[in-house]
Structures are given as structure tokens and as C-alpha cells.
Amino acid sequence: MKHADHVGLLRPANLPGGGTWVDLGAGTGAFTLALRELVGDQAVIYAVDKNRDGLGDLEREYARRFGETRSLRPFKADFSDAIELPPLDGALMANSLHFVRNKAALLQRVRALLKPGGVLLLVEYNVDRGNAWVPFPCSFRAFTDLAPQAGFGRPRLIATHPSSFLGEFYCAKADVV
């Protein structure tokens, strides 16, 4: 996928500008960059990943694309552990939930980080059977059942994109209830 594809998956969520966001499992930041493009330079984005090198790559690309890094807060941590962040307007999990076996517990912790009216954007493979690289995928159907158990409203399918690896990606939006 290219940057335009990442943006295309998130754009239909109609995100407001600004706010405080987190990208959980940011990696080198492909979706962090897409999120920044959509929420603008008044937003603060925490990029959480356990790989310091990937976060360094993200910082460099962020500066190259946007000419600044003041709105980016790299945060070295394992997103599947409890982490402390300020109250958030939104959370993005793009290709990260499929690494977590106990999705309900993690999503409850994510929910606890969000302000009233907050939103979770999930980008995942739309399958329920994994492999060595995607061990615990979560189809949109499965996420529809899981999100309300974690304190979110019923998710809405925002967009899909073909994947040669496991069929397709989807983006879903779930609001805090």
C-alpha cells in the first residue's frame, strides 16, 4: 500500500481537525502519517511502538513531509501493556490488533484512554484465520461483536482496500458510548 491508500482508508471517517490522538503499534508510521494529513498540524499524535528504530524512521519522514515534528510524540512502549497517556480524542490501531490474543482486554484499556465522544479507528485484515505474520486477525464481523463488549458503540465499516496477502483490509470506526 502507498500513502494515498492509507489516507484513503481513513478519510471516509471524516475526522475533525486537531485533538489528541494515539497510533498504537505505529511501526515506521505509515498510518501515523495518514492520520496527521487528515487531522492537521493542530493535532498532537502519540506514536506508540516498542521498536525505537521504527519510531526514528517515523520522526524523520514526519519532518520531511510536514516540516515539523512538534505535533508528534514518539512513545517507546508495547501497546499491549498498560500505558499512561493524556485523555485522548481518538485512537488508531492499524495492523496491530492482530498481534494480540486477548483483544477484549486490550480494547477495554484503549477505551479507558479515550475522552467521552472519543473514537477508535481500526484497520485490519478482514479474515478470522491467521498465519505466522498475522497470528490473531479480527474480521469486521468479529470486531462488530467485540467492540460493544469493550465499551464502544457498534462499529461502522468506513472503507476497504484489496490486499494480495489476506484478501482485504478494512477500516472501521467505533465511538465511545
Residue 173, strand partner residues: 121, 156
Which domain range does residue 127 map to?
3-175
pTM: 0.95
Lowest mean pLDDT among 28-37, 41-50, 155-164: 155-164
Report, as an integer, the average pLDDT of 118-141. Answer: 92
Report, as an integer, the average pLDDT of 40-58. Answer: 96
What total number of domains does the chain contain? 1
How many beta carbons lie within 10 A of that of residue 145, not counting itself?
Answer: 12
Per-residue pLDDT, 70: 93
Report, as an integer, the average pLDDT of 46-57. Answer: 96
118 contacts 176 by C-beta, under 8 angstroms: yes
Q: What share of the chain in percent tops pLDDT 70?
A: 100
Confidence tier at 132 by pLDDT (50, 70, 90): confident
Distances (CA, A) of 176 to 11, 23, 86, 90, 150: 19, 17, 16, 10, 9
Confidence tier at 8 by pLDDT (50, 70, 90): very high
Tell me the C-alpha distance between 115 and 118, whole Å.
5
In the predicted model, what is the mean pLDDT of the chain?
A: 95
Tell me the C-alpha distance between 29 and 56, whole Å.
10
Whichever domain contains 156, its CATH number is 3.40.50.150
Distances (CA, A) of 87 to 52, 75, 110, 112: 24, 15, 11, 9
Q: Spell out a b/e string for 164-175, using b for 16 or more CB atoms within 10 Å of the CB, else e.
A: eebebbbbbbbb
Per-residue pLDDT, 91: 98
Interval 146-169: pLDDT, tens? 999 999 999 999 999 988 887 799
Confidence tier at 130 by pLDDT (50, 70, 90): confident
Closest Cα to residue 121, out of 174, 49, 45, 46? 174
Interval 60-109: pLDDT, tens? 999 999 999 999 999 999 999 989 999 999 999 999 999 898 999 999 99
